[in-house]
Structure formats: C-alpha cells, structure tokens
A and B are shown apart, each in its own frame.
Chain A
C-alpha cells in the first residue's frame, strides 16, 4: 500500500529552502576547514617570531668579550628559554680553534662542548660556518613528531662570523592553536549561517504567505462555495500578476458554469415534466391498447371450441395466435417501460431460491413436457437471496422459456444451479439447445433481438431477456450469457445478493 502524505506549498518550499541552505553551509564550512596550506602558514608565523627572538638574544648577548663569559651566556639562554614557552632548546655554537662549530652554551646541558648538530635540507648541509654568511636560515620540520622548527642565525662580531644561534621551536602548540581557531571559525560560520537561514526562511514564508498562499486559500474557499452550487460567488483578487489573471479566468469559468447550469436546469425541468407525463401516458396506453384486444382474446377461444368447419377453425386459430402475440408484445413493452422508469418500486425480501425456481418449473410443466425437456434443479436448499419475489420468478420464467425456445428438436435438458459466495449468489441456467455464436451472444440482451429472426416470428417478442436484464440490474446484480458455440448449448448466469443478515 502506498502511503500518501499531503504537504502544503509552504511546507514544501520550506523544505527546499532548508535543503539548499544546508548544502550552502556545508560548502562554506568545507572551504574554510584547515587546509594543506596550514603548515606553511604556521611556518611563516614562526619565521617572523624567530627573527624577533634572534634579534632580542643578539642584543642580550652583547659584545664579543661578553660572549666568552660562559656562565653569563648560560643564564641568558635559560632566561630566554623559560620566557618563550614555545622554544624547546636554545643553543649558542661558536667556532673553535679548529674552525669547527661546537656547542658553547645550551639550554640542554648535555650538549655543552660537543660539536654542533648538522642539519640537512634539500641536500645542503647547514650549520657549517663557511656557509652561514650573514643570513638567517630556517630549517623546518627536522622531525615529524613532535613537529619542530630549527632556526640557525649567524653571530657576527667585528665583521666576522664567530658562531651561530640555534633555536628549536615546537610547532605543536601553534598547530593546536590553529586547529582550534579553525574549528571555532567553522562553528561560528555554521551558527551565523543558521541564524541567517532562519531569518531568511521566516521572511520568505511571510512573503510566500502574503503573495501566494493567501490568494490560493481564497481560491480554495471560493471553489468550495461554488462547488456547493453558489455559482455567482467571485474570487476577490485584483493583483496585476498571474494570480490576478487566474482570478479573472476563474470568475469567468464560474459565470460560464452558471449559464450552463441554468440551461441544464431548464432542460431538466422540461424532462421531468415529460417523464411525469410519460408514466401517465404508459398507463393510459396500456388501457387503450388492451381494451381493443379484449373481444379477440376473449372470444376467439370460445369460437374455436364451437367451430365445426376445419378450415374456419384453422383460420380462427391463426387469428388467436396473432392476437396472443400482440397481447404479449403490449404486456412486455409496458413492463419494460415501467422497469425503465426511475420510480419503479421493488419489494425486497429474503427469498428461498430453490423453492421459487421449482415453482417456475412446475408452472411450465406442460410446455416442458410438450418439448420433451427435463429439468435438473441442482440449487441447494439452504440458499436464500435478497430479492423481489415476483420479479425473480419473472426472470426464471423468461430464462426457462427462452431455453425451451432454442432447444433442438427431440428434446433436451435444462440444468438449474446456484453457487453461493460470501455476499453474492450466482445462478446458472444451462440448456442443451442450439447454442449461440459470439455475434449472437453480444446482442442477446438487446431489446427486440431474436437470435433466429424468421422461424420464431410469432413465438417470442424479443423483450424477455431485456426485461430480465433490467430486473437483475435493479437487484444490483449482473446477467450474462455464455455458449461454447453453435450446437453446444447455452448457459445464462445472473447474480443476486445473499440474504439480508449477510449484507
């Protein structure tokens, strides 16, 4: 089963706006996340810081003579190291007598008087005095973990380079700080965007409500009123946009509808009057058609009985047969007309199906015997249907006499049966007669249709099945016919409702 949920337009658009905004915020956040360039950024910052530090320490160290004072220098380095928390190690390397750089003073005491560390970057060795010149060298990322930056700067006194400053800076804190800042930045962006988003959504909804939803609601309410029949109601929207045009078209439609309805009402009134007169007319017609037939129908049997001359007797018999046919035609036409009228009344009650079918068979005993036809009533005793008894009997009579009509010479068999389902009963009347072609089956229930137009001219009116169809339809049932083909018999089926308590 498909679940169907109704969303209002504002809800749909709000969803759309939220989704679009969400995607935008995500994109902005992703763009602003710490990128690969972060390392470079940290280094740039640390270079500047290092340059300032080296300047400071160079001033503190003082003149060439002051450099030689080891304890003083060590104190300076310790102080310097403890003031700058990011500096892991501060070392002063001096050129010794062999022209080699050795550690003169270091915050790491273990290094004192050892030869200075060699650093290699891009295949070039640093910290060798001859390469130092007057420049400061930055050697980043000597170690990956923890990330550190080593900075080397020459110590120049009286025009010569006498050693190097070697400062090892931890990048860990800087990196952490940076990550933290960028996290916060993202958070801020998201928060800000969310606030902007909500402001946008609410102002958008406000606008939407004013510009679109309200006019649509007006349309809806007006349409409801119009639907109830008040066709002169108008939509009051005068805005000069598509909605205004729609309102004009809508009002025009209501106007046209009103005109059409008024016309239909006029015609209906005329039709109703005609229908009323038709019922009257049918009753009158019945009376007027039946009375003239009375002497023929009434007296011909008397005359036939009394008549001795065989030729006159035969003539009278033919007249009688024709008169009877005419009577049947009038009866059935009137009946069909009556069934067609809307106010025809049916008296529904619980009817025992087998009993009624049996009664019909009994009433046609003579006819069946005359045609050498046996009837097998297989309808179960316990089936009760909700039907108009008299009219149900009519259906059975018509279908049985129809079966008799199309039976082959030499007799045959009619089988009555009924199948009970949950709330309907399907009745079947099967014969071993001449059967029918597909073409004939289609027209079977048409009024005045005769399967064999010539030979049965004065035997049937061609209205019996049309009457059956109307009766069954008034029972909310269906009637249909099936035949395997010519010479193979025919089966009529119709459905009825089960007895009342099951309905």
Chain B
C-alpha cells in the first residue's frame, strides 16, 4: 500500500531528511516536497491527494498556522491528517498539537521515530 506524504518546509535539510530517510526505510512511502505554504496550497488545488501532510510551523511569507487554516478551508477532505513540525518546545506548540492538528513532531527528530508515528496515524 502506497503512503503518499506531502512535506511542507522551507528548510532543504528537513525536506531531504524526510524524503531520503522515509523512502529508504520503507519503499511504500512516496514523498512530495514543497518549500512554502503557498506552493502546498497550489499543489493541493491542482488535484494532488496526499494521505498525510507534514507541515512546518515557522515559515516565512505564510506560516504553518495560516497554511493549516487554508487547507482546512479549501480542501474537501476534512479527514486529511496534518502533522505539524516544530522547532518550538513551548506550550503553544504542544497545545497546537492537541487541539488544532492531529499531532506534532519536535525537530530535530529521528527518522525511525518519525516513521513509527506516521504509521500509527495512517493506520487509523
């Protein structure tokens, strides 16, 4: 079963880590990467249908929060899981994980741990 993941992050290091790491660990993972919220929305509007979105919070131009709101507004699939990536350890980020999005993952993360988390969410 193919697992299509879309990664939204302005940091090429993060994008590379997720794409390279996940595809290496599990051949079923198909990773699409974009480097801004705007591009993410464009891609979704053009018909792209990921199984899960990994969304960075701190991005220039359009933040992760904003992108999240717009995805929820525009995309018909209300059940599409969105997982935040955050470098912030404070409570705001943790609360965000609890209330707004399906989950959050703190940077820097280990790819095997990331895979474990994603597998769990995708199973539901």
Contact = CB atoms under 8 A, between A and B. Distances in A.
Interface of A: 283, 286-287, 290-299, 301-302, 305-306, 327, 331, 334-335, 338, 345, 347
B54 interface: no
A474 to B, nearest CB: 14
B21 A335 contact: no
B76 interface: no
A290 B16 contact: no
Interface stretch (B45-53, B67-75, B103-111): B103-111
B110 A298 contact: yes
A290 B93 CA distance: 15
Contacts of B17: 294-295, 298-299
B108 A293 contact: yes
Contacts of A287: 58, 87-88
A299 B111 contact: yes
Given A291-B11, A294-B17, A298-B21, 12 more contacts: A287-B58, A294-B13, A295-B16, A297-B109, A298-B114, A299-B21, A299-B111, A301-B110, A301-B111, A301-B112, A302-B112, A347-B91
15 contacts: A290-B108, A291-B14, A291-B87, A291-B107, A294-B11, A294-B17, A294-B107, A298-B14, A298-B21, A298-B108, A301-B112, A302-B21, A302-B25, A302-B111, A305-B112
Interface residues of B, number: 23
B11 to A, nearest CB: 5
Report which residue of A286, A295, A306 has the largest number of chain B beta carbons within 10 angstroms of its beta carbon.
Answer: A295
B77 interface: no
Contacts of B18: 298
Q: Is the interface of B mostly helix, strand, loop or mixed?
A: helix
A295 B13 contact: yes
A322 B89 CA distance: 21
Contacts of A296: 108
Nearest to B109: A298
Contact of A299 (B20, B91, B107): B20
Contacts of A327: 108
A295 B108 CA distance: 8
A327 B90 CA distance: 16
Nearest to A288: B87
Interface string B1-14: 00000000001011
Contact of B89 (A299, A301, A335): A335
B8 to A, nearest CB: 14
Nearest to A291: B11
Report which residue of B20, B88, B107 has the largest number of chain A beta carbons within 10 angstroms of its beta carbon.
Answer: B107
B18 to A, nearest CB: 7
Contacts of A295: 13-14, 16-17
Given A291-B13, A291-B14, A286 B110 contact: no
A334 B90 CA distance: 10
